[in-house]
Amino acid sequence: MDNESVEVRVITKSRDLDDYDILSIQSLSAAVPHETTESFRHFIWAAMATYAFGNKSIDNVMKNYDYIWQRYKKGVFENNPRILLLRSMTKEIKQAADALEAIEIEDNLSQICAKAALVRLEATFKSAYGLIRKEYIFESDAVIRIILEQIAWAYVAYGTDPDKLSMLKPNKCITKLKKVFPYAGKLYGMLSEWAHIDASIISDYERFHAEGVPVVRRSDHNSQQSGVNLMCLSVVYVKMIQDLFSIYEPEKSYKEIDRMNHMYEEYFRLGNQEL
């Protein structure tokens, strides 16, 4: 391939919410898709190093500074087991959403709306994962709360008279969701405490300000709990899709839900180990 045939573009937007790992040296950083190979990341590192050293040849850097790469490459892939589990979870969610999208349903408005709401949640799960990975605690729980509300709405909408769909309020569907997810009410209350500025949070803001404490935007501990909630809802999501639309054969359904359960339990176990 000659140089003139290589197209170079600056991407200002993407069709999807891509998942990246960040490579950094000194003051330079580059985002690479998480599925890229080590050899690709080697070239990106060498390009950054070439710029940082003030050199012009990437080949020279790769040849003469390979010993630096050998040390650096140990950290070029995400190795946090909790993040890796969340990443795997989003893949499972996408597969389930894609399978649901391919399902043909009868001309029933209630089922059409329930299907659409559940398919759309694939992006919401991915958004919540991105916020958790960056440890944004308030924003994570606000998005997770939306997931819970939308699952509840889809569950109730599926069996609702089409003429009454417009009257369904997502937050009012939580009670009915308890029939298949008994923890729904307690989880919704907990998520709402973080998603809204209630009296206790206002008093905390006042106390922190008086004590000169910086505004808390990130928390590893709290984001771990957000991850537990998201993993829990991923199991509910896949089971809900199967119960309503039978996207899998019975035997495969059991394996899919069992795998999601194992991922959730492993995430929970890792969190307890870190306490």
- pLDDT tens per residue, range 113-139: 999 999 999 999 999 999 999 999 889
Residues 158 and 206 in one domain: yes
Domain stop point among 75, 93, 117 = 75
Statement to judge: residues 169 and 259 lie in one domain: yes
**Does 95 lie in the same domain as 40?**
no
Its domain, for residue 192, covers: 81-274
Same domain (yes/no): 263, 149? yes
User: Per the structure block, which two tokens stand in for 206?
Assistant: 């006042």
Q: Of 75, 100, 133, which residue is a domain's last?
A: 75
pLDDT score of 199: 63
| Number of domains observed in the structure of the chain | 2
Residue 9 has pLDDT above 70, yes or no: no
> Are 36 and 100 in a shared domain?
no
User: What count of residues does the chain have?
Assistant: 275
Residue 97 shares a structural domain with residue 23: no
Domain boundary residue among 14, 41, 75? 75
In this prediction, residues 22-33 reach a mean pLDDT of 89
| Together in a domain, 69 and 90 | no
231-258 residue pLDDT tens:
999 999 999 999 999 999 988 888 999 9
Question: Is the pLDDT confidence value at 160 over 70?
Answer: yes
Same domain membership, residue 149 and residue 62: no
State mean pLDDT over 164-190. Answer: 95
Average pLDDT over all residues of the chain: 88
Residue 268 has pLDDT above 80, yes or no: yes
Confidence of residue 45 (pLDDT cuts 50, 70, 90): very high
Question: Are 91 and 65 members of one domain?
Answer: no
Q: pTM of this prediction? A: 0.85
Predicted confidence (pLDDT) per residue in 203-238, tens digit: 767 776 777 767 667 778 788 999 999 999 999 999
Same domain assignment for residues 46 and 32: yes
Q: Are residues 240 and 148 in the same domain?
A: yes
Whether 240 and 140 share a structural domain: yes
